Amino acid sequence: TAQRANPEPTGPEAGTQSVAADNTVTVRIVGMRFKPAQLTLKPGTTVTWLQESRMPHTVTGKTDELRSNTLNAGQQFSHTFDAVGSYSYACDFHPAMQGRVIVEADRLGT
Read off the pLDDT of residues 14-63 as tens digits, 9 standing for 90 and up.
Answer: 444 444 446 999 999 999 999 999 999 999 999 999 999 999 999 999 88
| DSSP, res 71 | B
pTM attached to this predicted model: 0.78
SS3 49: strand
Question: Which residues have C-beta within 8 Å of that of residue 83, sequence separation ≥ 6?
Answer: 43, 103
Distance CA 17, CA 35 (A): 9
What's the sign of the alpha-carbon dihedral 15, 83, 19, 77? positive
| pLDDT confidence bin for 107, thresholds 50/70/90 | low
